[in-house]
Chains A and B, each alone.
Chain A
Amino acid sequence: MTRVRLAARLIEAAGNLYPSLIASTICRILNQLLGIALLVIAAMAIVGVARGGEPRLGALIIALVVIALVKAGLRYLEHYLGHRVAFTALQRLRELFFARLVPQAPAATTGRAGAELTERASGDIDRIEVFFAHTFPPAVSAVVVPAIALTWLGLAVDGTLALTLAVIVVLMLSAPVLTSRSTWRASADAADARGDLAGHIGDDVHGIREVLTFGAQDRRLHKLDADGRALSASRSSVARIQAGRSALLVALQLIGLVAVVVVGTAGGGASDAALATATALAVFAGLWVPVRGIENFSTGLDTALAAAARVWEIIDAAPAVPDNGTAHSPTGPTDITVDSVSLHYPGRETPALAEVVARFRAGTWSAVVGVSGSGKSTLASLLVRGREPESGGVRLGEVDATDLPLDVLRRRIAFVTQHPTLLSGSLAENLRLAAPEASDDLIDEALSIVALDDWAAGLPEGLATRMQGRGLTVSGGQLQRLAIARALVGEPEVLVLDEALSQLDAATASTVRHRLAESRPELTVIEITHRADLLPDDTEVVVMDSGRLVEHGPAGDLRRADGPFTRVEARNAPGR
């Protein structure tokens, strides 16, 4: 995306903030014009007395003080409005980001992708603030203020001087514009180098056991230094361009000053010439700040637009699964059929799922069993269309899952994830996530099924207790059970538990199983687990290995058959 397009989209995203943005810019323009006025009035007073006029100090001081105070007020307003625009625009951007992220979840938001996502969501969106607060107003005032000031100078004082200054100002303004493409490219290189460095540091921390075991600290530090030097090199190319630009601007500033005096006094001693030259000097000195504002503008712009590019990349990404089904939910409980599904994760050759066929009967408790990496979680995610298979499909009874609207599908099938999270809010609010209108009785029942009713009653504020890191800390097992309760509150027909009992000891897991079977006998439960040893003998089991179905049948039979199921049992019982 070109920078113009990036900027245009950002302004679009800001919405109806134009009035504030323009107001902020006007404040800045007026502030800077008043700054010029201060100098011009002072210069005129000095020339006035030099020509023998009366020093009206009192009037002078009052005029200057008033202007200075108004200036300060305008500056305050400019910053306030600028920040208001920036914060509101960022808030809108965050809302858009979240809204567009929802259909991409969970495929794009879990795992490694998820970690990078939070960096983009926070760091990059924050970097865009610079665009709104510190780029547009300075850019506009850098052009408008000289235009107004020099026009006035030309019309009211001296045309030649105004023209001289105009040439200098145009040169000063064009320097950043001309060099902007090279800084843009150099900044992109620096951003890549920073990314490499961040990856290296991530490895140092996450892989510290390996680093220490192989005594590789020196090597890692050397490589860290090398990566750091690569970053320094890219940064310094950016810095050199900016430095050259800065030097050029300074030189033009000072040359302009000399030029004004030389041109102005060329006419030789006429008193009007002195006034004109003095005024021109004052105007030019007052123009330095507005014109140099364009420098910060282009530097800040690079960073902000680079961040914007990364944010748009995420916002524009395609949804994980298309949602254009229109069929109705089948009436009554149905079997769930998995029909020869295959799937590859990007970059991997070995399939995550290879022509897996399975049938989960209505009202039964089934299990999908396998060791880590066997594909069982991937299979589970297909049931709620968290991903799309490359071939084959999932059916609820006779209805294809893709024909159902996602909302309908996920109302029917509740999915308890492997690493559930609680949101900030009360315990009751968390439990009502899937069904905000659920009654208190329903919540109490759900809690008793997962054997947390006593615990919840024992909390200082009961169901109103605030959850989150700072509020209530729950153990891994309690978190899992709360997630199951949360799913049950939604009153689904099917419950998919993705390793959702993995943190529970055998006794608690058994309790939960029993209570669930008792209170919701018509519920179809599909349990994904590696703890094959904990499954009761009458569970219908499907065994997976390396993305393939390798065995199926009741757990008791499989135990006696001494095949893959037994090996999974042996692998993980009594596991970590």
Chain B
Amino acid sequence: MSAPGHPQQGSPHPHSVEKAPLHPDIKDATPRWMLWTSVVIAWASAAATALLFVRVGALFDGEPLTLATGIGLALLIAVAAACAWGGVVFSDWASSTTERRLRALVISRVFDLGAVAANRRSSSLISLATDAVDRTAHYRAGFLGPIVGALTTPLLVLGIMALTTSAEIAGWVALLVLLVPVLIGGFQRLVRPVGAAYRRSRGQLTSSFLGAITALEDIVYARAGRRIGDDLARRGEAHRRNLMRLLAGNQLLILVVDAAFSLTVIVAAAALTTARVSNGSLSLGEGMAILLMATLVIGPVDIVGQFFYIGVSGRAAQQRISGHLGESAANADAQATTTTARGAAPADHLGEGNRPNATGTDAGDSTDPPPPALELRTVTAGWPGADPVFENLDLRIERGERVAIVGPSGVGKSTLSALIQAHLTPQEGQVLVDGTPTTAGAGNVTLTEAARQVAAHAPAEYLPDESAVRSRLGVVEQRTFLFMGTIADNLRLALPADTHAADDSLLWEALDFAGLRADVEAMPDGLATEVGDHGRLLSGGQAQRLAIARAWLRDAPILLFDEPTSQVDLAGEAAILAALNRLGADRTVIMIAHRPEAILAADRVIDLSELSAQSSNRADSSTRAHTSSGTPVRGEAQ
């Protein structure tokens, strides 16, 4: 039983290629030197300890404990202790750093993919950015290095043994140690299919449980709570038995490894040492030193168990992230490399909105006519995986117009809204907002690059074209999304980043404009009131008014109202319509609704269903009435 959208625990992202190469950004998140540092720390620790054992052996043989010897011992102990300290601290630091880098990569890729792709997979993306990032970071930065260190220290210790006590014994033990992986490799063939069944069974167990919890409302109202609980218990017990059976096989590997190491190392070392001490080629102290060093060689035995938990889940997680990073955007191709002429920072849009441009010339370009506020040129668009919603649509809205776009459900209103905001790219044709196309050409820096610049504390210089388009727009949607934080935080979102220190007076003005000032003044924390998760502490009407205040702060020349009062209570509707009216003064207003009376008085009403039908007919008869911008082709309601 899986609730829709619930990610299976530990399972790889569906449709990912089994053995696709790892995305280079993931490797870069944990640079080589981090791995080597962990390895070197492990080596240093083992070397210091092994040398100490040799000194202890010498003391055992009767060497006097002079000051020099004492200092030497103290030094070795200090090095070993420092490595123990350093290993833990470094591993944690490396893991944290990698996590931050991976998170930035994952989230900026989400932003690149756009709203349409993200909304379809929101819970899987969240799991990717939290769980998969944690596991991958722990695996790459906190596990790989130490594991390599742990697996190679036996050879290092044997090397020291060869140099200080007995090369012969070191050689024999080394040979045996190198045979062990062969044994394990052979056994793995038995274990690997068991591992997959283990994960699957575990996944099923979890998803039944979670599925029932998701469906609890229905279950409780159907008075089936106890019955389902009993059923879950039965199912859980069966799965548990299955798991234990699989585990019994799995765990045999631990047995084999333990036996293999103990046998080869301790037994061989003990027997050989006894023989050599017996014939006088080794002193007693040297013999004891070898015995002690043998315990260091056994170290890896304990680590193998971790392979199953950290290793396997870490690799699965990094594959998921790799797949995500390598994905191209659903509707747009990967960012092109040409710079646009409008590579200016988004702060430039401030203050442009209030110039009356309806009939006059554009202040910037002296002789060209002002571009239309919105233009669709033979646009065919639809949602991914579905047929196009409309084909060859032409639409033109001039600056300063107030246009209502109406139509029944399914005609393409939300498609149009997404096209205008550059969340959706047209399959054919072009959408231009204030003369800027929403696709074709982009800034010379992708958002992934921006993330790297963020990580390096460098300001992002250029942004892709969508952002230039969006900076011309002020949007009030059906349902306003509020971020966790205060009212002030949510308002400041509309202001450019570098004005974050703006004083509150601007924010109060915005609230006043939207008719929300009195409400916020009445709240005990005022602007610092927390809005709760997804704004649940504000009513629908208050949230919409906050959106209006935000749009006022943004001061964009083109406004898009997408059914702004459809979720607002009847009593509050009038006030919000009045605020929207104020907001729309001297700006281009595009309103989307299903009935023209629903919102504000419009200069022009476009019936999208008729327009869409006309466009299709035109396309079918293959006559194109569309010319270049000289002759505007308007769709009008008849």
Contacts and interface: CB of A to CB of B under 8 A. Distances in A.
A424 B56 contact: no
A221 B223 CA distance: 46
B137 to A, nearest CB: 11
A235 interface: yes
Interface string B38-75: 00000001000100110010011010010000000100
Contact of B219 (A105, A208, A248, A269): A105
Contact of A38 (B93, B211, B266, B566): B266
Given A94-B209, A262-B59, A417 B221 contact: yes
Contacts of B537: 347-348
A47 interface: yes
Interface string A210-236: 111111111111101100110110011
A239 B108 contact: no
A259 to B, nearest CB: 10
B248 interface: yes
A175 B423 CA distance: 57
A79 B565 CA distance: 61
Contacts of A254: 49, 52, 76-77, 80-81
Given A210-B493, A424-B211, A546-B569, A215 B463 contact: yes
A466 to B, nearest CB: 10
Main secondary structure of the interface of B (DSSP, over half): helix
A474 to B, nearest CB: 11
Contact of B212 (A98, A371, A410, A470): A98
B92 A239 contact: yes
Given A55-B275, A95-B229, A232-B100, A350 B539 contact: yes
A566 B23 CA distance: 57
Contacts of B573: 567
Contact of B421 (A69, A209, A424): A209
B115 interface: yes
B278 A121 contact: no
Contacts, number: 448
B498 to A, nearest CB: 10
Contacts of B346: 215
A64 B272 CA distance: 13
Interface in A511-541: none
B287 interface: yes
A433 B219 contact: yes
B292 interface: yes
A71 B258 contact: yes
Contact of B210 (A118, A247, A248): A118
Nearest to B134: A194
Interface stretch (B119-127, B173-181, B318-326): B119-127
The size class of the interface chain B forms with chain A is: 35 or more
Interface stretch (B230-238, B328-336, B376-384): B230-238
Contacts of A49: 274, 277-278
A75 B274 CA distance: 27
Interface residues of A, number: 156
Contacts of B125: 205
B100 A244 contact: no
B594 A574 contact: yes
A75 B569 CA distance: 67
Interface stretch (A3-11, A80-88, A149-157, A305-313): A80-88
Interface centre among B91, B493, B570 (most CB of A within 10 A): B570
B88 A102 contact: no
Contact of A65 (B6, B267, B295): B267
A394 B435 CA distance: 60
Nearest to A242: B88
A574 B409 contact: yes
A121 B3 CA distance: 14
Interface stretch (B145-153, B354-362, B447-455, B616-624): B447-455
B2 interface: yes
A46 interface: yes
Contacts of A436: 227
B111 A217 contact: yes
Given A50-B287, A285-B295, A221 B454 contact: yes
Contacts of A281: 56, 60, 288, 292
Nearest to A417: B217
A415 interface: yes
B247 A83 contact: yes
Contacts of A43: 288, 291
Interface string B517-547: 0000000000000001110110110000000
Contacts of A204: 107, 110-111, 129
A231 B96 contact: yes
B493 A216 contact: yes
Interface in B74-122: 76-78, 80-89, 91-93, 96-97, 99-100, 103-104, 107-108, 110-111, 114-115, 118-119, 122
Contacts of B262: 38, 68, 71-72
Interface centre among A57, A198, A257 (most CB of B within 10 A): A257
Contact of B423 (A65, A212, A235): A212
Contacts of B62: 265, 269
Interface string A372-394: 11100000000010100000000
B209 A121 contact: yes
B497 interface: yes
A575 interface: yes
A231 B100 CA distance: 10
Contacts of A112: 533-534, 536
24 contacts: A39-B266, A72-B262, A76-B258, A98-B213, A206-B534, A219-B497, A221-B108, A224-B104, A239-B89, A239-B93, A246-B84, A247-B82, A247-B85, A257-B56, A348-B536, A348-B539, A371-B569, A410-B222, A410-B223, A415-B221, A421-B214, A433-B219, A469-B2, A546-B569
Given A118-B213, A247-B85, 18 more contacts: A39-B291, A42-B291, A46-B287, A55-B274, A80-B251, A106-B220, A106-B221, A121-B209, A203-B484, A205-B122, A214-B550, A221-B450, A236-B92, A250-B81, A261-B56, A347-B536, A371-B568, A372-B566
